[in-house]
Structure 1
């Protein structure tokens, strides 16, 4: 995580959180006998509603994260310049546990489904 999460409320009333994510590939340098960092790529991550709120309460700058979502590249013109940004609309975000440990805390919501979390509801269709 390269920047702190920023929270927004969009005109429709939905909450959104954004942050910048750095991805730094590594490759093995045979001459030096070790791994070296390659140039980093930066992405803006957008997370909606409860996912965004949980991100804001769970992660910090420097945390190694794994993000799953939809990648899109947006382009626009402004200030007589062409701008391009790579965004990931997040579906899921979590700590990269190959780099450390994490402790999960379930969020209790007052409007949550009254069924226990391990209950499966089956619906028959014809």
Structure 2
């Protein structure tokens, strides 16, 4: 009766936006860096993390000091080749669930989950998924 259908907090409407019960993290074992601003202007800190699960909308990362990573940060793969803009969702001991700011292409995520990927090809692989996606959408 007192429920008016509006969320109590103005950001609460976005909290569940990516809560999809069908989301399945694909197992992976990628070394990445969590990069985040560090107090000063043009000053960044980084923490080496391991991506142990990934899907189109987010990832599961693991690191010893993962609780010190701020709410918003970047996951960097390779030699500054691929960046994912991330938001912290849930922290459990040495693991963290993160959401990506934009969904990634399924082809790219599937390629990342396959073992033995040379890091030198990450940027080219991501670019090819964008071209592939555009041609697929234009053909439809």
Q: Which has the higher strand share?
A: 1
Decide which structure has the larger Cα Rg and report it. 1
TM-score (norm: length of structure 2):
0.31
TM-score (norm: length of structure 1):
0.33
